[in-house]
Structure 1
């Protein structure tokens, strides 16, 4: 998909296949629309006066060429009142337009959307590629009959203020990079478990480094993990024939190469059967999505390299597979983690925190500025926040506030949950330092409490994406969340 900004006041002279025109419901049309209307014999005015075009938010009217001096199709889209038009409303408009264009198999368009409310244009420019990318995304690698390729390939956005053109172009490019990162995350997460195992994650990480010279990748297999005493991590994968591999991606973009990095740790359970505490069979196919945390790290690191951010970032994909087997770990086992903390296993399906606790101990060697882990960790988070919000917890209020702020900017919504000593009491064990599961009550928070025992050396936040990382049912598939939120967070830190 090609996106560009063009500075001009004359939309009628554009050579694209279709002109998309933003209509104000208050009938106070822009000079750009008035000029077009005049060149096509006041057809737009007639449609508005007749009540056939109202300017209602998301309402579309498709018109084929009808005048000798107009060879393009016209798509009129209602945007409500310009004074009330914002980023949220733009999403509804963009969705309506792209749906119509795809249905009509239009290949390239020119659109005046950024001129509708110039005060909102910079943020809308960043959103457009992401929304278009979401609507045109396909995952059909394993279908014998491929889906038709979406027709829309080129979007030219008009603007009439030379002073903002550079900023708009910059934001549009950022939006494209974020859209591509979300696409990469979704494709990796959608891969079936018989293809995507920890070794596959490692291979994808290495390929990413080949594509971007600013990235360095290190892969730690079971031998290296054992040498590091990452016994909790290794226990989870013990029942699988597939090797557990932790893939570390390093990006040093800061002027000071030794500057403290931002560290992202993604849970990478490429399939989670629950182990000995096996899951119910219903919807177990969706447990291929238990590596969406690792897929998120992959997408964010791709974007960091393409954005050339002047910061240092480390991304960890903690690859593993949880299967029942004669060699699998059991309820009642006691494991000694890399940190030396002992854990009583109550439920082998509470495995993600065991993988993460050793990974979170490992990354302390980087002297991180902040650490953010991303994990499809608890079904309890879905009970608490549904499929709308990612749960955020941690040991630093400023970091939590920054993440929630970044989520609001990107419409990749997140909500902070409490984490305190009352919940910490629930994970006490009678025969080890802590236990890996304390039941249903406050399950999302007690899981975070478990992780907090391994993050005392640095500022840390935990993102529970169990409810937001994928969709079920007829539209089953990865969502690419919370890639946009995390990229925005890193962009915000770069600007602060």
Structure 2
């Protein structure tokens, strides 16, 4: 979709040539801000009349649809209440309004703020409009015929909000890339095809891509990752993306995305019901691709590395079996008690590989556990971290981007269930605290750097009638990286890096 930011008052918006016009109307300060223009502004008069008549309640997301109202060029107008005008309320209103407007298949859609717009409200409006109008097309190309082609966002002062608008538009590009790959069926999203998508990103400014195959992975000693892939005819791929926006000496942030392009559960076979949704098991990888797409557009002054271990978890005579013991890149042996706990087996080798970059921080993103879905549902991603400052920064980024997460504990006692009589560690513990014990498994491979784990099993996709990838947590990660870039060079940044290097040297 083509996004445009434009300086528009409601009086100017009334003359805007567009297929549909959405007017965002906040209750707070409405009378004062509109009273000056009611006599000459058709839209302002309509909003004031609707408010007084009770036809436009103050609750965010409430709509009033008008057809060819007098004094307005657009044939269709939607008055949308944004309640208190907060970013969350704006998102609610825009999603409701765009979903209502797209029923008529408009090609050009205009959204205008009736009052002053904050940077956070502009970001929320752009992201919400994109989310509500997104159409998957890879294996359903005719669906694009009804999509919105151009969206104009009208604000009182476009220049003052251009930075927020640019950030939001670039984030949309990343989210939609993540959505498209997350939504692809398994036969259109193999490890090889996923690597091809990463190589395409390698053609963008400041991005480099390297792809390793089975021979290279085996030579490196990634026995845990290779073991998961051995039951599939599709060869594994280990994808290494690099974005350089700062000096080469600046320690990078490393993002590790789980790339299981289809998960049958292996020998520990999943139930047939809803197994089709296991195509979404690579949404962590898709989010890493999405972040790099956004980085190429925004060009922040930060270095970022993306690591994507990608394979299928399938069954044949060579497949990994319960009770097998594999050796990870770190040298730790792992007893595989359940082959459906495969995500942590590929991530642990990628986390060990991340050490070579002497990272400032490492964040892994994975659709890891059903237990996290039970704990947090589809609202917040699970956050686990061995570093309080990193956890706080990610939590703040989640709130700022409306892509929230929630920190869960990592007490040592949760790791007791991972003890094994036959290896250094087992890949599962009991049912209790399953999301936490999975994180405790990963933590064993992260002593050399500040680390956080995002369990997105509940937030990466939706089921039911709205089935599809959400593109999360691209927004959270982009917000975190931009904030980190903005504070680069501050003394608080230096301490974690030194600690990471020191820890690496002593392992």
TM-score (norm 1): 0.91
Counterpart selection for 1:149 from 137, 146, 154: 146
Structure 2 residue aligned with 1:312: 303
Matched residues in 2 for 1:331 and 1:369: separation?
Answer: 36
Equivalence map 1:274-423=2 (5 Å):
274-423=265-414
Equivalence map 1:7-156=2 (5 Å):
7=7, 9=9, 10-11=11-12, 14-17=15-18, 18-23=20-25, 25=27, 28-29=30-31, 31=33, 34-35=36-37, 37-40=39-42, 45-53=48-56, 57-65=60-68, 67=70, 70-73=72-75, 75-79=77-81, 84-113=84-113, 115-118=114-117, 121-143=118-140, 146=143, 148-151=145-148, 153-156=150-153
Structure 1 residues 350 and 23: CA distance shift in structure 2, 3 A: closer
CA contact (8 A) 1:4 1:169 kept: no
Deviation string 1:30-56 (CA, Å, 9 cap, x unpaired) is: 656753652549555555555545555
CA contact (8 A) 1:357 1:454 kept: yes
Structure 1 residue aligned with 2:170: 177
Aligned pair count?
484
Structure 2 residue aligned with 1:476: 467
| 1:429 alignment partner, SS class | coil
CA contact (8 A) 1:222 1:234 kept: yes
Deviation string 1:271-315 (CA, Å, 9 cap, x unpaired) is: 111111111111111111111111111001111111101000001
CA contact (8 A) 2:34 2:48 kept: no
Matched residues in 2 for 1:193 and 1:19: separation?
Answer: 39
Deviation string 1:117-137 (CA, Å, 9 cap, x unpaired) is: 44xx21111122211111111
Moved more, 368-377 or 145-154: 145-154
Matched residues in 1 for 2:51 and 2:335: separation?
Answer: 70
Matched residues in 1 for 2:82 and 2:331: separation?
Answer: 60
Moved more, 314-323 or 57-66: 57-66
Counterpart selection for 1:271 from 262, 270, 286: 262
CA contact (8 A) 1:16 1:109 kept: no
CA contact (8 A) 2:116 2:155 kept: no
Counterpart selection for 1:248 from 226, 232, 240: 240
* Gapped regions of structure 2 (runs ≥ 5): 488-507
Structure 2 residue aligned with 1:217: 209
Structure 1 residues 15 and 222: CA distance shift in structure 2, 3 A: same
| 1:194 alignment partner, SS class | helix
Structure 2 residue aligned with 1:233: 225
* Gapped regions of structure 1 (runs ≥ 5): none
Equivalence map 1:181-196=2 (5 Å):
181-196=174-189
Structure 1 residues 491 and 347: CA distance shift in structure 2, 3 A: same
